[in-house]
């Protein structure tokens, strides 16, 4: 079991990630919620609902940042539905939210259990950035961080050059990239290869577990949106890939790359600029600020199988 | 020794006054006009340059048409609401007088600079597109001229087109940046002084009491005064932006405070686009010399310059061409 | 009917090879060569162009000097390690019997375009300063161009000068922005293809024992190879500029895609990046034909064969 702090903006693929984690050895110590796919209040309610659906109704959910550090709030209901779960409006959980605010709880847990926890962040980085500002020693206390964000050497999705999570809060993303921790960056360069096969879709369509059904229904809207760029009814597993690699790093091979955020470009604010020129050998110290691991090879078949199994498909 | 001058302008009401000053003043040897987009589109600016020269009895001075839009290809922002649809306060004659020469404004600058090395002061009173083009076509240009005087920018004063940016710079910030960065002496006559150099209705009366040139000048100021009344002063008056630049360039108006400082123009898609950032931190110690500085920023000058200008135009006598509005056939 | 051309260039080693390829090819009719500052300063690029054309016995082609520095900014500087201080890696060619034309680069462009019956193709191998000035100062003349074929930028392989930008576009992003934003058809031959179409050291063996042209090529390639070895660990070299010329000689050598391209002028890390909308996210209309695939073998064959033939003809 891997002890995880899960920061999310639930969100259809966040729901997928929670279910993947629940079925693949995640010990959710806490969930923290950020603005992003939907406003933070909606995301918080959805996180509770999804946790309950997989029997994790003891996992506390902490509300976090309602907007980015330095730009106005933007959300993506057009992708995830008005309710953040594909407009299926499942019966919301009645569980209360936990007391501490997200960034405070991240710091508290890291101090309480130094070196034990893995942080998995699959929404905009605002809570993580706030936690870093509150606790400068956070990287030493939380040595492993896996983030769904960025697009290194591939086009973006929120803009031509930027992936959505980082585009929503470039200032926070910069804090995350610059921190001295072992950062795994799971960006569009790896997630876009996780498109579900027709066989996988077929298995999902016949799922009978209650949580599987909840997800299958929530996915309909999400797949319809992806049908246009992908050319068929399917979707991409951004957030599940991040948690999968946090739970089993051996699912992929990695390389260390120097990365930095473009903050000022007219077309490029929010872009992760990675140095892929090969003029110098790859950096050797993952803890160096501005250095992150990116995925070079992925065991896609195993990842897909574990995903389907976690839903009972 | 009169100063040889090439005047690049987007004629324009205040440009018209500047051209008249340059033609009429014996201390100025106006050897060419270049037209540029800005207040109005470039064909209108060209036409108004030609009309003004013909009116003042100097059809021999060449007018070269220049750039139609900003150097980076951005949107065209014109100012008919300030200068009238004809660039003459909607009170022009509508007459086409003569034609521009074949060469472009930038080519004219380069050719004349090579012909009179070290003598010419370029005076740019519109967006600096033509100057930036000339710099790119002739890398030696800065060394071939005496210097460049611009009407533009705002060192301490607020902007006009935005909170911080003056119109000529803002219209083509990239071209302005190229001009400020090139290795020549730049004299900046900006809103710091032009917003304080005013003419009012008493000046228009003096112009009306002159010859027909004076009367025409008064006529085109009517619309211009209304604009400034509504937006800046609450009273009928106007600034003398462009003529002030000509006078400073010619030395017929000596500024009271004009330190030479490091200055640059803000470019890019930012809130402060077009701001002229001038390093005035030395103001508490009388502006000690700054290394590498080549921009003289005029901060104070005689606010009554308008009297000198108006007297000159009122005494100019009658127009060499008819000035009644041409009736469309 | 040979394609009438103007070549705007900043020789530069790969520019030199590209010019040789152009003059070696009956499909092309080079009407003028214009120079710009980039790989090295304008004085050197102009002198290099003059000496090169003298070597190729083409002193009949006018060489016009253009811009030394970019359109707007003055913070670009060439990296002398790539092409040497003089731009030819220390290779000294015999002095030309003439100087640059008295007309500026842009003036020559205007004269050639206006006097040609057939629309002119403009091949731009360096920073786009002169091309942007042509468009800004003489838009009606520029509109008569058949197309602009430029070596620059990158869609997926984005950077060499910086992690995000190719050298030519990095050097003068404002000029590049003007060119892509004009309505003139643009073919972009960028790092996506030039990094694929590399020439191995042994590919040049056909030039051994040749005449003055082969000698010059081999000497420049030696310097260029040493540089590539140092930065990338490989002794194969990318013939960026020759590929742009090859694409005009034989368009089937590259495969282009009609895409929307803009240039980032404001970014700190992404200054000079060509933002190429490969996935059509912006939904803006395509404004360039971007070369994304290349037949490397065909390109190398063409380049070497033509250089050998040129050398033989001039021996």
| Cα B228 → chain centroid | 18
* CB of B177 less than 8 A from some CB of C: yes
Region A230-254 average pLDDT: 96
Chains that contact A by 3+ CB pairs under 8 Å? B, C
Please name the residues in contact with B243: beta carbons below 8 A apart, sequence gap of 6 or more: B14, B17, B18, B21, B305, B309
Residue B329 has pLDDT above 70, yes or no: no
pLDDT digits (tens, 9 = 90+) for B206-256: 999 999 999 999 999 999 999 999 988 899 999 999 999 999 999 999 999
Which of B137, B143, B176 to probe the C interface (max C CBs under 10 A)?
B137
Residue B327 has pLDDT above 70, yes or no: no
Based on the residue annotation, tell me whether B10 is a catalytic residue of this protein. Answer: yes
- Reading the block at residue B55, the tokens are 């009116």
Q: Which of B66, B136, B269 sits opposite C129 (nearest CB)?
A: B136
Q: Which of A156, A157, A277 sits opposite C159 (nearest CB)?
A: A277
Q: What is the pLDDT of residue C265?
A: 94
* CB of C244 less than 8 A from some CB of A: no
| Bond before B12 cis per omega within 30 degrees | yes
Chains that contact B by 3+ CB pairs under 8 Å? A, C
pTM of the model: 0.91
DSSP B98: S
Region A229-233 average pLDDT: 87
Counting one residue from chain A and one from chain C, the pairs whose CB atoms sit within 8 A come to 75
Q: Which of C163, C268, C282 sits opposite A276 (nearest CB)?
A: C163
The phi and psi torsions of B54 (rounded to 5 degrees) equal -65, -40
Residue B81 has pLDDT above 90, yes or no: yes
Percent of chain C with pLDDT over 90: 91
Q: Which one, of A241, A242, A196, lies nearest residue A219 by Cα?
A: A196
Q: How confident is the model at residue C80 (pLDDT cuts 50, 70, 90)?
A: confident
Name the 3-class secondary structure at B320.
coil
Based on the residue annotation, tell me whether B85 is a catalytic residue of this protein. Answer: no
pLDDT digits (tens, 9 = 90+) for A55-92: 999 999 999 999 999 999 999 999 999 999 999 999 99
Task: Give strand ranges (E) for A189-288.
Answer: 252-261, 272-274
Residue B269 has pLDDT above 90, yes or no: no
> Chain A contacts of B269, Cβ < 8 Å?
266
DSSP B257: B
* CB of A228 less than 8 A from some CB of C: no
Q: For C81, what's the count of Cα atoms within 13 Å in the CB-facing half-sphere?
A: 7
Q: What is the pLDDT of residue B328?
A: 58
Name the closest residue on chain A to residue B269, using Cα atoms.
A266
Which of B269, B271, B272 to probe the A interface (max A CBs under 10 A)?
B269
Region B57-73 average pLDDT: 96
- A41-50, A56-65, A149-158, B29-38: the lowest-pLDDT one: A149-158
Q: What is the pLDDT of residue B324?
A: 86
CA distance B238 to chain A (A): 37
> Chain B contacts of C42, Cβ < 8 Å?
139
Q: Which one, of C290, C71, C299, C307, lies nearest residue C173 by Cα?
A: C71
Residue C303 has pLDDT above 60, yes or no: yes
How does the average pLDDT of chain B come out, rounded?
A: 96
Residue A10 has pLDDT above 70, yes or no: yes
| Cα B83 → chain centroid | 14
Q: By the 8 A CB rule, do B326 and B93 touch?
A: yes
Percent of chain A with pLDDT over 90: 95
Region A110-137 average pLDDT: 98
Name the closest residue on chain A to residue B267, using Cα atoms.
A266
CA distance A266 to chain B (A): 6
DSSP A89: -
ipTM of predicted assembly, 2 dp: 0.90
Region A20-40 average pLDDT: 98
Quickly count: other Cβ atoms within 10 Å of residue B81's Cβ. 11
CA distance C18 to chain B (A): 24
CB-CB under 8 Å, A156 with C156: no
Percent of chain B with pLDDT over 90: 93
- A121-130, B227-236, C27-36: the lowest-pLDDT one: B227-236
Q: Which one, of A184, A189, A188, lies nearest residue A254 by Cα?
A: A184
How does the average pLDDT of chain A come out, rounded?
A: 96
3 state SS for C126-173: CCCHHHHHHHHHCHHHHCCCCEEEEECCCCCCCCCCECCECHHHHHCH
Q: What is the pLDDT of residue A105?
A: 98
Q: Which one, of C151, C183, C145, C185, lies nearest residue C274 by Cα?
A: C151
3 state SS for B152-206: CCCCCCCCCCCCCCCHHHHHCHHHHHHHHHCCCCEEEECHHHHCCCEEEHHHHHH
> Chain C contacts of B129, Cβ < 8 Å?
136
Region A243-268 average pLDDT: 96
User: Look-up: residue for tokens 């809130």?
Assistant: B271
Q: What is the pLDDT of residue A159?
A: 92
Q: Which of B8, B10, B86, B192 is catalytic?
A: B10
- Reading the block at residue A170, the tokens are 């470039």
Partners of C187 in the beta sheet? C149, C289
Q: What is the pLDDT of residue A228?
A: 84
How does the average pLDDT of chain C come out, rounded?
A: 95
> Chain B contacts of A264, Cβ < 8 Å?
268
| Cα B112 → chain centroid | 19
Q: Which of C160, C268, C279 sits opposite A264 (nearest CB)?
A: C268
Counting one residue from chain A and one from chain B, the pairs whose CB atoms sit within 8 A come to 3
> Chain A contacts of B268, Cβ < 8 Å?
264, 266
> Chain C contacts of B269, Cβ < 8 Å?
266
Q: What is the pLDDT of residue A230?
A: 86
Distance between CA A197 and CA A300 in Å, rounded?
Answer: 11
Residue C67 has pLDDT above 90, yes or no: yes
């Amino acid at each position: 079991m891997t002890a995880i702090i899960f920061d999310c903006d639930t969100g259809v693929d966040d729901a997928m990630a929670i279910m993947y984690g629940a079925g693949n050895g995640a010990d959710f110590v806490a969930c923290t919620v950020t603005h992003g796919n939907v406003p933070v209040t909606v995301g918080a309610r959805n996180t509770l609902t999804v946790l309950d659906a997989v029997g994790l109704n003891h996992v506390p959910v902490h509300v976090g940042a309602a907007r980015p550090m330095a730009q106005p709030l933007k959300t993506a209901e057009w992708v995830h539905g008005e309710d953040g779960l594909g407009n299926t409006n499942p019966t919301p959980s009645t569980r209360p939210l936990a007391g501490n605010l997200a960034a405070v709880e991240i710091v508290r847990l890291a101090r309480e259990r130094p070196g034990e926890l893995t942080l998995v962040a699959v929404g905009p980085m605002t809570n993580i950035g706030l936690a870093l500002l509150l606790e400068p020693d956070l990287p030493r206390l939380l040595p492993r961080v896996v983030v769904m964000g960025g697009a290194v050497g591939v086009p973006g999705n929120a803009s031509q050059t930027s992936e959505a999570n980082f585009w929503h809060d470039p200032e926070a993303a910069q804090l995350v990239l610059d921190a001295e921790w072992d950062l795994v960056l799971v960006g569009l360069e790896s997630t876009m290869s996780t498109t579900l096969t027709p066989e996988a879709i077929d298995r999902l369509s016949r799922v009978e577990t209650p949580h599987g059904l909840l997800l299958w229904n929530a996915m309909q809207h999400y797949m319809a949106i992806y049908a246009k760029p992908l050319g068929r009814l399917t979707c991409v597993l951004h957030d599940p890939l991040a948690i999968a690699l946090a739970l089993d790093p051996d699912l992929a091979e990695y390389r260390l790359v120097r990365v930095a955020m473009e903050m000022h470009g007219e077309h490029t604010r929010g872009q992760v600029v990675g140095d892929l020129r090969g003029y110098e050998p790859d950096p050797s110290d993952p803890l160096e600020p501005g250095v992150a691991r990116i995925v070079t090879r992925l065991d896609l078949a195993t990842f897909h199988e574990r995903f389907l199994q976690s839903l009972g498909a | 020794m009169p100063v040889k001058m090439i005047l690049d302008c987007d004629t324009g009401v205040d440009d018209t006054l500047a051209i008249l000053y340059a033609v009429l003043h014996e201390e100025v040897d106006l050897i060419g006009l270049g037209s540029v987009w800005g207040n109005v589109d470039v064909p209108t600016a060209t036409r108004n340059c030609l009309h003004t020269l013909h009116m003042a009895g100097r059809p021999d001075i060449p007018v070269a048409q220049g750039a139609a839009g900003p150097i980076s290809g951005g949107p065209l922002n014109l100012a008919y609401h300030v200068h009238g649809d004809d660039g003459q306060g909607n009170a022009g004659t509508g007459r086409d007088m003569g034609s521009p020469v074949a060469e472009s404004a930038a080519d004219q600058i380069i050719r004349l600079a090579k012909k009179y090395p070290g003598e010419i002061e370029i005076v740019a009173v519109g967006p600096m597109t033509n100057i930036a083009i000339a710099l790119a076509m002739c890398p030696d240009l800065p060394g071939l001229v005496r210097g460049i005087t611009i009407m533009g920018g705002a060192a301490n004063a607020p902007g006009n087109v935005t909170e911080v940016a003056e119109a000529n710079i803002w219209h083509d910030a990239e071209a302005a940046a190229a001009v400020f960065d090139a290795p020549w002496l730049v004299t900046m006559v900006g809103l710091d002084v032009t917003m304080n150099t005013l003419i009012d209705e008493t000046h228009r009366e003096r112009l009306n009491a002159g010859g027909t040139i004076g009367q025409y000048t008064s006529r085109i100021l009517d619309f211009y005064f209304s604009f400034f009344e509504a937006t800046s002063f609450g009273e009928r008056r106007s600034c003398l932006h462009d003529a002030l630049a000509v006078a400073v360039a010619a030395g017929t108006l000596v500024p009271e405070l004009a330190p030479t400082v490091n200055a640059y123009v803000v470019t890019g898609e930012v809130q402060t686009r077009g701001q002229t950032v001038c390093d005035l931190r030395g103001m508490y110690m009388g502006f000690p010399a700054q290394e590498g500085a080549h921009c003289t920023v005029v901060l104070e000058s005689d606010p009554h310059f308008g009297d000198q200008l108006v007297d000159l135009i009122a005494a100019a006598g009658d127009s060499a061409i008819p000035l009644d509005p041409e009736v469309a056939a | 009917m040979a394609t009438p051309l103007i070549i705007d260039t900043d020789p530069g080693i790969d520019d030199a090879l590209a010019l040789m390829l152009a003059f070696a090819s009956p499909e092309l009719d080079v009407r003028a060569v214009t120079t710009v500052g980039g790989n090295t300063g304008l004085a050197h690029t102009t002198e290099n162009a003059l000496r090169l054309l003298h070597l190729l016995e083409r002193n009949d082609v006018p060489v016009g000097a253009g811009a030394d520095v970019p359109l707007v900014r003055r913070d670009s500087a060439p990296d002398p390690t790539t092409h040497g201080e003089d731009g030819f890696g220390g290779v000294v060619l015999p002095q030309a019997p003439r100087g640059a034309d008295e007309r500026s680069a842009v003036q020559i462009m205007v004269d050639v375009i206006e006097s040609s019956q057939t629309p002119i193709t403009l091949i731009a191998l360096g920073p786009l300063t002169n091309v942007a000035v042509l468009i800004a100062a003489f838009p009606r003349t520029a509109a008569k161009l058949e197309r602009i074929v430029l070596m620059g930028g990158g869609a997926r392989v984005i950077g060499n000068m910086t992690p995000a930008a190719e050298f030519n576009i990095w050097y003068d992003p404002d000029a590049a922005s003007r060119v892509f934003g004009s309505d003139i058809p643009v073919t972009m031959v960028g790092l996506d293809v030039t990094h694929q179409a590399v020439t191995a050291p042994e590919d040049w063996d056909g030039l051994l024992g040749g005449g003055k042209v082969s000698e010059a090529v081999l000497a420049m390639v030696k310097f260029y190879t040493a540089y590539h070895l140092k930065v990338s660990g490989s002794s194969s070299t990318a013939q960026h500029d020759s590929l742009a010329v090859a694409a005009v000689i034989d368009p089937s050598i590259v495969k282009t895609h009609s895409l929307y391209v803009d240039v980032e002028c404001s970014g700190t890390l992404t200054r000079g990046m060509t933002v190429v909308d490969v996935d059509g996210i912006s939904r803006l209309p395509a404004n360039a034909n971007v070369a994304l695939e290349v037949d490397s073998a065909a390109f190398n064959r063409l380049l070497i064969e033509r250089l050998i033939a040129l050398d033989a003809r001039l021996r």
